[in-house]
Amino acid sequence: MVVGDKRKYLTCLITLKVTVDPITLAPTDILDPRALAWVASLGAGHRHTLKAKKDLNIKELLGSPSWPVVEAAMQAGVDRANARAVSNVANIKKWSVLPREFSVDGGELGPSLKLKRFHVVEMYKEQIEAMYLE
């Protein structure tokens, strides 16, 4: 989700793809196998550990020695998107990975799966403010 209303520049809240609980259909904090494969494909220093781990959660990834490699790959993606932006004003200056995926149960999405921006801004106020303080 891009944030920037009445702000100096644009920032972005990013969620990682996670598995869904088959009973409740709520997102878990366990990385989706495709996300895990992408992380392992980056050639991170502890790739063998990540590849062997089938239930890596977001918090573990963010705290792992492999996180800087993943972060650099994500920054490269943001840079590619910024290169296609119509102007400098449309560039994402900073971004943050959230500890969980947006969901209906979490209140970030409505029943029609539309993002409830006001709710997300309130929920992640600290992360958003931190991106504008630095």
Non-local (6+) Cβ contacts of 79 within 8 A are none
Q: What is the DSSP letter of 71?
A: H
pLDDT at 109: 94
Q: How many Å apart are CA 37 and CA 27, to the nearest integer?
A: 18
- If one counts every other C-beta atom within 10 angstroms of the C-beta of residue 102, the result is 19
Helix (H, G, I), strand (E, B) or coil at 88: helix
Q: Which two tokens stand for residue 58?
A: 């977001």
Strand runs labelled E in 27-132: 27-31, 92-97
Q: How many other C-beta atoms lie within 10 A of the C-beta of residue 79?
A: 11
Full pLDDT tens readout for the chain, 134 residues: 999 999 999 999 999 999 999 998 889 999 999 998 888 888 764 544 555 556 888 999 999 888 999 999 999 999 999 999 999 999 999 999 999 999 998 899 999 999 999 999 999 999 999 999 96
Segment 38-74, tens digit of pLDDT: 888 887 645 445 555 568 889 999 998 889 999 999 9
